[in-house]
Structure 1
Amino acid sequence: MQRPCIVGTLLLLLLVAACSGETDPAEDQAPSSNGKTEDEPSLVGRLPGGFGPAKFHNALTTATGFSGATIREATLDVSGDFWVAVDGGVSRRTESGWINYSPVEGLPDPRTRTIEVGDDGRVWLGHQSGLTIFDGKAWNQPTFAASLVGLEVRALLLGEKPWIGTGAGLFRVEGETLSLQQIPGLPGAVGVHALLNGSDGTVWVGLDQGLAGFKEGTWTYLHGIEGLPSGAVLALAEGTAHELWVGAEGGAGRYDGTAWTTFDYGNGLGGGEVRALELDAEGGVWFALGMAEGDPFSGGASHFDGTTWTYYSTEDGLGGNLLFSVDRDRDGSLWFGTWGGGFSRFDGTAWTTLERRDGLACDMVGAVLHDRAGRWWFGSEGGVTRRDASGWTLLRGEGGALRPYRVTAIAEVGQTEYWFGTAGGGVFVLSGETWRHLGTVEGLPGDFVNTLLVTEQGEVLVGTDSGLGIFRDTSFVKLGAAEGLVSDTVTALKVDSKGRIWVAGFGGVSMVQGEVVTPFAAADGLGQMAVRTIYEDAEGTLWFGGEQGRVTSFNGEQFDTYAPVELLLGRQVTAGLHDEHGFLFGTADGAVVYSEGGSWYEYRPVTIAGEVRTIYRDREGALWIGTTLAGVVELPPLPGK
């Protein structure tokens, strides 16, 4: 879908950072104090919440220096302000700088999907659970939008009678009335992904399967015809010759009024689904591509000038290969929204990238560490951020090696060494100023790392999706199901007071004592099929927490399993912690469920957005929650009643 252009003079205001990823360790992002002058780093944010009187929880946002950003869409309002919808909220670029909107500022759902500006200047935002409109002062839900609550709004077409595309069908607004549009030939309501108002008056609708057109009260449904790309239609655009361009899961298609032509991997278009389309000043077409499963060479951006195809990827300077959007500004530059790689601009010659450290509101944090020197380490998509008394430092590894991966675990080894486990990239080790990589070639069981633990003897335990790696001296010892572990997938690790290593997995737990591996599963009384957390209390009893809040204890002789936590029934547990304070479980819907005094409670502060990825308790007893959409949030003492 074409967007309004971006005012060229605004680009001079953007703090654009190069994203080539070719820096060495000494050139990682320099510390930024963000104007703080205190001796100790300030982690105080501006996100209120809690019980009773409003309290300001500590919240780390992109304004404080996190790496990467997932851009959904961008647009320009009538005053010239630049609006960017990201996973985590909305960022608005004014002449004086960035303004970020989150649930604290009235945004009901930070899981944005689409953004448009009407002729009256109001900003319409479609998100995971409905529609919200910004009137210049506040975010409000119009009367007609009450019917959209709970529906994912994916596409907007504004005008006298706005059209709203959702995951459950197409709606049209007339005054304050909202009506569901039934498309003849389709089995009821279907998911809508894209909307386009054609120059001949046809409203084109991209659907889960195929394409529909509405003109003069009549619907036409196109599906399975020769030349129309397969799968969901995700993007629509009209060319300078009034031809219709379609971006779909199966490639791209062009309709010239007579026949369809398909473009895919085989005839010039790069691999992956076409997420967005945009025309350039010369009438060429730009394609923003998503990644195809199992194809590491898919994604990126393609350009077709009518004769020749040109392809761009991260090797050319694009911030990331998985794209969501493409928009053209009034200077003719193209802006590409990426997943985890920021907002990339191509001026026809060179690429530059606007990232989170430039003020965008998006965070995805999967690991937290407070080291012995008092420094904070936060692992996220594409890198690690370190916070000390001098400010923030962004670390991406040697040559930007961490950029493609999500950091899932962090461990402090010795006095000067830090290990960073990743999803798909193995382990990256920082020793002073020097980086090294440990992967399957070096003996690591697998490159998808879930957890790290350092023993008193200095061994590093690495839990992966392919087994446990024990790093001793200079090499790994590998343990998996073949060696006796209950599962190759390792989800949690613990060394008990007797020096035994406990390894949790999807099938139960295993005890490693010397060279002997003893597995425990449901048949042994464990009662757990997916263990996520292990804790040893003062009496030496081991406690295991798993899916749906199932809790099992082991006194050295037998297992005792307790009834599942009712608050967690039917919910996906994504993180867990058990210590002297009790059990805590994080869920996929952004809640923390915890035990206190024999009872279970649920806590859902407005500061948590998205999935809870990690729960960390620091030396002072404060809880830090890493999320997929709201960065990392410090919680106040949880109420027990």
Structure 2
Amino acid sequence: MNFPYVTKARDGLSYALLAWVLILSAAESRAQLWQTWTTADGLVDNQVFGGVFQTRDGALWFATREGVSRYDGGWQTFTEDDGLSHNDVYCVFEDRDAVIWIGTRRSLTRIDGDSTYTFPPDGLGISSRVYEIEQTANGDIWIATGNGPRVFDGRRWRKITFEDGIVSDWSNGLFLAQGGTLWLATDHGVGRFDGSVWENFTSDDLHGFYDILDGMQTTDGSIWFYSKSSGVIRYRDSEWQHFTRDDGLGDNWVSGMFEADGAVWFATDRGLSRFDGATWTTLTEADGLADDEVHGALVSPSGIVWLATNSGVSQYNGLLWHRYGVADGLPDDLVRGIAEDVQGRLWAGTRSGAARFDGRNWQAFSRADGLVSDNVAAIRRLSDDALWFATDSGVSRFDGETWVNYTSADGLAADVVRDIYEADDGSIWFATDGGVTRYDGNAFETFTSENTDLGDNLTVALGQSADGAMWFAGFAALGKSLTTRWGGGNDWVPYWLGESVKESQVVSMLRARDGGLWFGTWDGYIAGHGTLFHTSSRSYFGGYKEEESDTNSGLGFGLGYRYLVNEHIALRLEGAFQHWFDEEVDLREYSLRVGFATVLATGD
């Protein structure tokens, strides 16, 4: 089911969950990454055989043998008593009009607001289960049933038969691929329908692959199908490749799949298997799953993985992201900066104070604890391993035991501090509303537009290029330079980086490991090595994060992270999608249409 803003899980949809997110602490054990829901929590039945689905309102739907449960923070159950055609539920689908369609052992139920209607089996012309539901570009509703596929044009149902060209009249699943092509999964092969003609691939074409349940298309364009007895198969470059337990798949009985974290994941009878294109790994009960027998899986774009198992529902938050908010102990949901201390604990700076995460719990810090102000704009860990906090009332330094505060009374250009940067010589620079200040550990020195050629006193970002020059970004009046380079002494050079104020308004900087200085601007541009790349129309606020690893250094502008790999910036969407560029590309050819868009750019 590949609608815009959607990823395919077993029979399910997932839509963007707009949320502030923080990287999960690496210190958290695997067992703590899993949470399980059962009938004791409100789930209608522990055997979630039909799978897990997500609708546009963010609610999760769990298809069980005793009805379907909807979860949006609280549980709601639908059974035959509520109008379902049968309690044994196989799939849930939301169409473009937000109508919910539920396929069951007996027939098909449609929920439109407060109205529930079940199609009589005779009216559908079926005597078997509804396994899958899909909607094509023209608005038609397709269903896969044990008596073959059916299509509904809004007025009547029509059976698709051998005369239409299908490979088998026992259909298990169907999905839409890029370009609107409809793929059909059957016991004896798969079919591809372009709107006019069916093209079929039989078991002989599929290297003996049969008992096919369903499939999906991954972001690299590959078509995947999974089977209840013969593993999985991939169609790429007009070639089929078959994978089984002998190749590393957890089990040949597969009941669901999804794409996340740069890999394809498969729900099997012996755990959750991951394939990154080269290597197979499998998670089991030993890793925290409620049960090894996984019937379906869904990953939401916030990074949460939901598994339907024989022993309840498991939630895995260690794949990509986990969301934390006020309910978890943060002082505020608006997080403006994050950093890691020398003990490996995560810190978050908010407009209502700072908080430290030890892998399990958040501990809040405020003015009462020694912070100069609760309104924290940025956090930086410097070479002395202390954390420095930029606030609207000065700067705080915390070494793990003692808080030391600095304000304009101590020599800062102004009390409103927006960024902190440590230069190569160990001096610390502060971007303030009254200019920039340098601190050498003993004394403060301030640079303003009155005593230098600094473009503007209201400075929002700081950086240093490989030649040792300092760069300052401010909010300047129209016609004046927004970014200024200082090479020492009287060497002040103004820069106008774009053709408009939005393009030129730098709000964050990062020096990459190859020496290039990168700028995040209001208009989503990044400049590197003196070259400007158009990346996205999104504005980027906040600071940066550099990943301390052998292979990656990251850029964090605003809500997302961009990873610099082998001197190239790679795209990573905050959710289930990830794509890497391993060679230089013309980034102006790429545009982003889903989720929280992130930046694309390369070095020269």
What's the TM-score, normalizing by structure 1?
0.43
Q: Which has the higher contact order (CA 8 A, sep 6+)?
A: 1
Q: Which structure has the larger Rg over C-alpha atoms? A: 2
Structure with the higher fraction of residues in strand conformation: 1
What's the TM-score, normalizing by structure 2?
0.45
